[in-house]
Structure formats: structure tokens, C-alpha cells
Structure 1
Amino acid sequence: MVDGERALRVWLWASLVCNMGIIVTGAVVRLTSSGLGCPTWPKCSEDSYVPHEAYGINGVIEFGNRLLTFVLIIAALGAFIAAWRNRGVRSRLWWITLGIGIGIPFQGVIGGITVLTQLNPFVVALHLLLSVALIVICVWSIQVASRPDRIPVAPLQKAAVIATFVASMLAIWVGTVVTGSGPHAGDLKAVRTGFDIEAVARLHGLSAWLVVALTLVTLWLVRRNAELRKVMLIVLGTVLLQGAIGYIQYFLGVPAVIVALHMVGLSLLTAAVSWPLVITSRSTHADQPGADAPTAVRAS
């Protein structure tokens, strides 16, 4: 059973890493103008599932990203089977891994719609946001598998954790609007949102500063809880790193390499802000903000 539990955690981590990685590879497709390297879906062309030589490197990149969906499916299936073998069909983890498994093919369908709509920026944004949601669920699955005892926190502390998470998701969503309004559309013929890029970039910057402020507030509220303080310091470091990359790409004119790093930061930020959300539980019996860390109680 111990080996089975270890295998379960390995599969869950693999699923998380794969879902984080697909965000980065999707960015590579967009940054190399390979979004329509395969001009149709589910086939690459009207008469072939694989790219023709005439499609060049763009077809290879786009087709390669499509193939990575199968890697995600394998990781999700492995996690699902491991959860079934070790926890049973009535466990919360079984349902969570089932949800991840369902989400990945659905993600593939949305990816197909992005191609069929000629990279409509709003559909592209939805494609990314679903990957973000899957990362959050993967982090949740790891929490359920590795630490069933959540940390009880005072209502104000939990509210701060939730607010930081929500603000981070808001900043990510606004970031997709910026992406849909600027360069690197994935194809030279792809349409843009029509929004003023300077305006939405400033709005994105404000949302990022809101995340920084709420992270600092949360860190102060949990400052005497050693474990949560460490977690929030990691969140703060991730937020600041992502913000720094964002400003660098803005002032350098959004070079492709920096944009790719920003997408790496996005996946790391999503995982980081999800962890304090899933490991804490609101408790009116918990110590007030600033008190020493209470003893964890079973909450899952």
C-alpha cells in the first residue's frame, strides 16, 4: 500500500507538471506564429492527420503541441487508476482525478475550436484559462493525497488567502486580454480584440499590484504560523518574479523569449497561489491572526 501511495503521488505530480508544461508549449506555438501550422482540426489538413512538408516548421510545431495532449491524457489516466486502486471509487481523490481526466479532452476540443475560428483571441484565452483551472485542480489533488489534515485558520486569514487567489486569477484573465490585443497572435492573419493595448496593459499592471498587496496582507496575517508563513513567502517570491518578468517584457517591446518566460511564470504562479487555498480551512475556533500555528484538524 505504501508503494501504491507513492505511485499515486508520482502520477499526480506528473499530471500537474504536464498541465503546467502545456501552457508553455502553447506559448511556443503562438510565439513562433505556428497557431495555424495545421490549418484545420482534428486533422492537420483536409486529407492528412500529420503535417505536409509544405507546412514547414510551423506545421511541425503545431502538430507536436497537439501530440502533447496524449501525454496529458496518459498522466491523468495514470493518476485516475492509481486513485481508484489506492483510495476507491467513493474517495474524493477519485472524483478529482476523474474531473482532470474529463477536462483534458475538453481542452483539446477548445484547442480545435481555436484553429477553426482562425485563432479568435477570446477562444484562445479560454483555451489558456482552462489549463489554469486544471493546474488548480491538480494542486488540489496533491493536497488530498499528501496531507489530508488541512490547517485551520481564522476567518480573516482564510478570507485573505481566498482574496489573493481570486486576485491572481483576475490578473491572469486580464493578461489574456492583453495577449489578445497585442503582437504574437499565433499567425499573421489572426484577428485581435480591438482593445487599446496600452489601456489593457495598464489594467493588467494594476491587477498585478493588487495581487502583490493582498499577498503581503496575507503574509502579515499568518506571520506567526511557521508553515503558512513559509508558503506565503514562496507565493510572494513567485508573484514578484512574475511581475518583474512582465515589466521587462513590456519595456523591451514584448520579445518572444521574455514572453515565453512570462508564461512559465504564469504556470508557477497558478500553482503557488493554489497551495495555500487548498491546505487551509476556515475555522471559527482557530487562533486569531498573528497567533501561533494551531494543531491541524482533519478537514478532507
Structure 2
Amino acid sequence: MHRLLDRFPVSAALLRRLAFASIIANVGIVVTGGAVRLTASGLGCPTWPRCTDGSYVPTDEMGVHGVIEFGNRTLTFAVGIIAFATLLAALAHRPRRRGVLPLSVAVFFGIPAQAVVGGITVLTNLNPWVVGLHFLASMAVIAAAYALWRRTAEPDGPVVAVVPAPLRALARLTTAVGVAVLVIGTWVTGSGPHAGDQGAARNGLDPESISQVHADSVFLLLGLSVALLFAFRAVGAARAERAALWLLAVELGQGVIGFVQYFTHLPGVLVGAHMFGSCLVLLATLHVQWSTRERRSVPAAPAPAPAAEPVAVGA
């Protein structure tokens, strides 16, 4: 296997493109998964891994819901193929950078793990807590894919902070709050009307109360993002400041969608856009985290001086 990979070297540019394609594919599977739920097709294939007890593909009797659910399952294979291609590229790339191969392995194996959680959601009749876990598993794979993409462009030198330690801590806190917003968002979804199937249960939380908790966590995230923006500007960290500005813009757009969908009684189109926005918020938050540090190249060791020619000494 190693000899075969050595015969087909992969450039850094191709590896980076594949890693970026993996991010796009995993965001896409979140959006199509949302479409399954928003069209009440969550049990279009009522069992897993087969679509029915006697067939791996939907039957005519299952109608459009079966086609939608099966189509989303099929897309998982496409996402897996991209992840596998990225893994092979990471193996073939020379010189191999530290961290690239483990991250590509994590992305590749994260996809079947996410698919298994999706299967469990079907087998538990779309239990809202398991559905939320399915979404969060996809977020974890997206985060790993983003880390892989960033690592493919970095040298193998040491990681150096480019902002003071208190601001790095503030960035980590913002990331943690961003993750909490995603988690609470799954609770809101589990209490709302889009169960994925008319017979699916809800989590029992009061939709209005948990939506208020979610809104409060979003306001906290916005406040931290504004603080990051001004703090980075104060210390002259231009790259980090731009990343914080992008994060704030994405959060404001996501917030507008969230409020409009709430006051218009959660139309499916806006809920789907909100799910896509959640992916963008995660990516923008990670972008801020990466902007607080950089990995620098190790200077090449100087070549040894040539040995002096021996000098003959006369008798």
C-alpha cells in the first residue's frame, strides 16, 4: 500500500482542496438531513440499515417520503467517498505534516459513526434527544474537517500565540458558549413542531421557555463576540479582528433568521436556513480560535562547513 501511494504523490494544493470539499460535503449532509425532518420524512424508511424489513431501497408504496429519506442516506456514501479520498491524499502527501493524518482518520470514521447515530434515531422512532445527538455528531465532524483544512496549510513548526493570553482565554470561552448555543438549539428543536414524522414524540420542554434560554445564550455569544472584536482591535491583531468581525456578522444574520422563524411560527424554509446558519456559526467560531495563533516554520539548519584540506608539513 505504501509503495502504491509513493508512486502517486499528492500535492499540498490537492490535499487542501479535498479537505475543503469535505467541509462542504458535511455541511451539505446537515442541510439535507434537515430537509428530511422538515418534510416529515424522518421515518420514510422505517427501519435501518435497510429501508424496509425486506428491502434496502424504498418501495413504490412508501411514496415521496421514502425517496427523501433514502436519498439522504445515499448522500452519506458520497460524503464518505470524499473523506476516504482525503484520507488517501493525506497518506500519499510528502512531506507528511504532523496532525494531518489523524485528523483525516477522524473525519473518515466520524461519518459512519454519525450514520449509526442516524440509524438509532430511526430505530427509536425519532426520539428528539437522539435526533439532537445526530445533529451534534455532524457538528463534531465538521469541526474535525475544518481543523484538517487549516492544518493542511500550516508548516510543521511550533504553535505561537499572536494575541495575549487573556484574549486567547476569551476566544476559548466564546467557542464554548457557541457550542452551548448549538446544544440548546437542539433542545428547542426537540420541543417544536418539526418532529420529522407525525407520530414522533417531543422532548416535553416548554417551547417558549426553552426558546428564551436559547435566545439568552445567543445574546451572551453576541456580547462575547463584540468584546473579542474590540479587544483584538486594541492590541492590533488585525487577522484576529477580521475573524471576529466575520463571526459577529454570521451571528447577526443567524439571529435575524432565528427571530423571524420564531415569530412566523417556524416555516420549514427558515428552519432549514437556520440549520445552515448553525454550521456557519460553528465555522466562524473556529476561525476566530485559529486566528489567535499561528504555526511557524522551523528554519533550516545551516549546512556544515566543509572540512579544511590537510596541509603538508615539510620535514
Instruction: Please give the TM-score of this superposition, normalised by the length of structure 1.
Output: 0.91
Query: Aligned partner of 1:255: which letter?
Result: P
Query: Aligned partner of 2:70: which letter?
Result: F
1:252 and 2:250 correspond: no
Greater RCO, CA 8 A, separation 6+ = 1
Residues 69 and 108, structure 1, Cα contact 8 Å, conserved in 2: yes
1:73 and 2:80 correspond: yes
1:236 is aligned to: 248
C-alpha deviation, 1:117, in angstroms = 0.2
| CA–CA separation in structure 2 for the residues paired with 1:242 and 1:256 | 15
Residues 11 and 79, structure 1, Cα contact 8 Å, conserved in 2: yes
Instruction: Please give the TM-score of this superposition, normalised by the length of structure 2.
Output: 0.87
2:215 is aligned to: 205
- Which of 1 and 2 has greater Rg? 2
C-alpha deviation, 1:2, in angstroms = 9.8
Residues 9 and 146, structure 1, Cα contact 8 Å, conserved in 2: yes
1:298 is aligned to: 296
Select the residue among 142, 148, 164 that pairs with 1:141. Answer: 148
C-alpha deviation, 1:253, in angstroms = 0.6
C-alpha deviation, 1:299, in angstroms = 8.6
Query: Aligned partner of 1:45: which letter?
Result: T
Query: Aligned partner of 1:226: which letter?
Result: A
1:126 and 2:133 correspond: yes
1:263 is aligned to: 275
C-alpha deviation, 1:187, in angstroms = 0.1
Unaligned runs of 5+ in 1: 282-295
Distance 1:180 1:101, change over 3 A: same
Residues 140 and 275, structure 1, Cα contact 8 Å, conserved in 2: no
* SS of structure 1 residue aligned to 2:11: helix
2:37 is aligned to: 30
C-alpha deviation, 1:278, in angstroms = 2.9
C-alpha deviation, 1:147, in angstroms = 3.1
Runs of 4+ in 1 over 6 A off after TM superposition: none
Query: Aligned partner of 1:276: which letter?
Result: V
1:161 and 2:161 correspond: no
Residues 150 and 299, structure 1, Cα contact 8 Å, conserved in 2: no
| CA–CA separation in structure 1 for the residues paired with 2:247 and 2:59 | 44
2:230 is aligned to: 220
Q: Output the aligned Cα RMSD.
A: 1.8
Greater mean alpha carbon deviation, residues 150-159 or residues 266-275: 150-159
1:86 and 2:93 correspond: yes
Residues 48 and 122, structure 2, Cα contact 8 Å, conserved in 1: yes
Greater mean alpha carbon deviation, residues 56-65 or residues 90-99: 90-99
Unaligned runs of 5+ in 2: 1-7, 299-315
Select the residue among 31, 47, 57 that pairs with 1:50. Answer: 57
